A = this chain, B = another copy of it.
Amino acid sequence: MNSPLPISPSDLDPMARKYPLTLPAPSLTNASGDIDRLMSALKGVLPAGKTAVEITVPLDLVRRASSIMREVAYHVTAVVAQKDESLELIDLIAGHNPVDCYGVAVDVGTTTVSLYLVNMTKGEIVGKLAVDNPQVIHGEDILSRIHFAQQRRGLQTLQDLIVSCINEAITILAEKQRLRPSDICAVSIAGNPTMTHLLLGLSPYHLCREPYIPVINQPLQIKAEELMINTHHEAPVYVFPNTGSYFGGDVVAGILASGMHRQSGVSLLTDVGTNAEIVLGNRDWLVACAGAAGPALEGGGAKTGMTAREGAIERVRIDRRTLEPVIEVIGGGPARGICGSGLIDLVAELFLAGVIDPRGRISDGKQTRRIMTSGDVKAYAVALAEEREASQDILVDELDIGNLIRAKGAMYTALSLITERLGVRFKDLDTFFVAGSFGEHIDPKSAIAVGMLPDIPLERFKVIGNSAGIGACMMLVSYKLREEVEYIRSKSAYLQLNVENEFMNRLNAALFIPHTDRELFPSIRPSTSF
């Protein structure tokens, strides 16, 4: 299950690295200090370009180094971490230690916290875990968390919650790989501005009050122990900087993962999650906009909906003749529910097979055991408890389909409004990046069919998964990307679109599958014409 990160070998520049060293034994003619001898051996093996860099050594390690060096006859493994422009010897191990260097990347979302265990030596993701953000008990959304943080010990409580959550997840990920926390030598974190503030213990008070001021927008130099994160205590922590109170490190990390900031053509990146963020731009300019407030797409809002985890139906195809579905379940076990991408697939297929009409109503004309009435509402059974691959009946009814239509309508309306305001036509987009934990499984063909994504050639879509998480992983493996982060920040602007009225006007036209204006979706041809 190891997935390599999109980093070319020449760009490998891990945040921490191990160097096995055999030091010359001290003698009367080589009587340099122990640390000096170590440093000079280390400089001999550092990659080109790092040999002139200053290497700091924490005092605590200076105190222990002499005896460590003598333990295995001057055979040691130096663990060296990057710290801005300098290097730091964060550990010294007696003997030649063969374990690769690992790092943890965290995407701190308001609802979900996604963690990635990364083998920095090989440039691969070796473990993933998504857990609920436990801060949710003190407020579902960002505003209520900011409010809670003002209470006595509120900020500390929220910080403790997220740190414990991260630590528990790290323990699970590490144990699976039989690693000790001290084998994890670097941490990379991306989050929206509020989540970043809470994690760092910074007051988010001014974030949501005019003129909306973050405490800090630049990267900080932090060690894991300062945040009580349970890795190697000297592990450097890179926190993706925010660009403004609405433009978080998660968006920056997402742009980094997409690579849109390197392209000459204009691309669009959208994170289809709780709050759809849209970024438009190229290597010369980047504009982020808040997706207009629409219903959540994650889990689709369906009664049998769930987030994209083990047991979720993530792919659906419907036989045009028998109307029987073929499903794919995450993890391959029995289906327990349906996630966003599954729901989009299902609605697209139901529409293309003529089971539902453009308003999302289940047609009376189709005869199949799959169509049933649940309560007063018609439903389609995408999985039946009696089937091998299902643990229960999984029904999607007209209300669920209606919710999806409102969500996809909001998404499409936001996309079309924002691109229009920025003077970009869908057909001129070079690449359309679909991100989000939701987006990891989405099938652009189905998303076009329901009218959520614009009808542009399929090859222009690039589904990149949790771009914030991937961006955070990439930083672990190629620390020099922090220069690209600065580049991204320097080219970025946030656009607060005042489109409330226009949005509502347009939304109605998008509440059809795929749209009232069929010319916008020329490629979508259902088997029944309505």
Contact = CB atoms under 8 A, between A and B. Distances in A.
A202 interface: yes
A56 B221 contact: yes
Given A85-B54, A226-B59, A34 B210 contact: no
Given A66-B203, A66-B215, A220 B31 contact: no
Nearest to A30: B211
A41 interface: no
Contacts of A62: 200, 202, 215-216, 220
B54 A211 contact: no
B27 A215 contact: no
A220 B54 CA distance: 11
Interface in A40-98: 54, 56-57, 59, 62-63, 65-67, 84-86
B31 A212 contact: yes
B34 A214 contact: yes
A34 B215 contact: yes
Interface residues on A, range: 35 or more
A31 B245 contact: yes
Nearest to A25: B211
A265 interface: no
B33 A214 contact: yes
A1 interface: no
B59 A200 contact: yes
Contact of A84 (B54, B203, B213, B222): B54
A217 interface: yes
B31 A213 contact: yes
A32 interface: yes
A63 B220 CA distance: 12
Contacts of A331: none
Given A200-B59, A220-B59, A215 B33 contact: yes
A202 B36 contact: no
Contacts of A54: 84-85
A313 to B, nearest CB: 43
Contacts of A86: 84-85
A62 to B, nearest CB: 6
A200 B33 CA distance: 15
A86 B211 CA distance: 32
A212 B288 CA distance: 62
A35 B199 CA distance: 17
A372 to B, nearest CB: 54
A242 to B, nearest CB: 7
A206 B66 contact: yes
A36 B245 CA distance: 13
A32 B200 contact: no
Nearest to A35: B216
A525 B28 CA distance: 48
B59 A217 contact: no
A67 B206 CA distance: 10
A495 to B, nearest CB: 13
Given A54-B84, A206-B66, A213-B31, A59 B222 contact: yes
A213 B59 contact: no
Contacts of A32: 213, 217
A366 to B, nearest CB: 55
A213 B220 CA distance: 37
A245 B33 CA distance: 8
Nearest to A496: B28
A226 B57 CA distance: 13
A214 B85 CA distance: 28
A61 to B, nearest CB: 11
Contacts of A6: none
Nearest to A60: B226
A230 B213 CA distance: 36
Given A57-B220, A66-B206, A203-B66, A33 B242 contact: yes
Nearest to A193: B33
Interchain residue pairs A-B with the least CB separation, the first 6: A33-B217, A35-B216, A33-B214, A28-B211, A33-B216, A26-B213
Given A26-B211, A31-B211, A33-B216, 11 more contacts: A27-B211, A28-B212, A31-B244, A32-B213, A34-B206, A35-B215, A35-B216, A57-B216, A63-B202, A67-B203, A85-B86
27 contacts: A26-B206, A27-B211, A31-B212, A31-B245, A33-B214, A33-B216, A33-B242, A34-B206, A34-B215, A34-B216, A35-B215, A39-B218, A54-B85, A56-B221, A59-B200, A59-B222, A59-B226, A59-B227, A62-B200, A62-B202, A62-B215, A62-B216, A63-B215, A65-B215, A66-B202, A66-B206, A66-B215
